Amino acid sequence: MSYLDDPRVFLAAERTLLAWQRTALALMGFGFVVERFGLFLHMVVGQALTPAQRGFSLWLGVGMTLLGGLLCVGSAVQFRTVIRSLGEAEIPRGYWTGCGVWLGFALAVIALALAIYFVLSAA
């Protein structure tokens, strides 16, 4: 990738990974808000929601949550690809490069569990 032998290249890649994971977390959080918006409307209006209203917020929220999970996995895989292309001098000695990757996979599992919960609780 580069021949600078500079650890700033690795640190820039890690910052990019964390930015993508932050974006994925925001997407998952917004998916949660959208999914629960139907419940909020039910409480405010005091009337039961139609299945179409409930279904729209449910599937849009589940989709956004799953999209956030996919973004976590994609960013982790991309980061591992970049790390493999770096030389030894570009990665600081003793630095554990797997933390961000495992965080991405853990967030993806949480997103999947949350989406499953949404679907099962709506039934």
Q: Which domain holds residue 108?
A: 7-122
Per the structure, the count of domains in the chain is: 1
Distance, in Å, from the CA atom of 77 to the CA atom of 58, rounded to the nearest integer, reads: 29
Q: Check residue 40 and give its pLDDT.
A: 73
Distance, in Å, from the CA atom of 75 to the CA atom of 69, rounded to the nearest integer, reads: 10
Residue 2 forms part of a structural domain: no
Contact residues for 11 (Cβ-Cβ < 8 A; gap 6+): none
Residue 107 forms part of a structural domain: yes
Q: Check residue 108 and give its pLDDT.
A: 96
Q: Check residue 53 and give its pLDDT.
A: 66
Quick check: 61 and 31 in contact, CB under 8 A? yes
Residue 98 forms part of a structural domain: yes
What string of pLDDT tens digits covers the 123 residues of the chain?
556 677 788 889 999 999 999 999 999 999 999 888 877 766 777 776 667 667 788 889 999 999 999 999 999 999 999 998 888 888 888 888 888 899 999 999 999 999 999 989 877
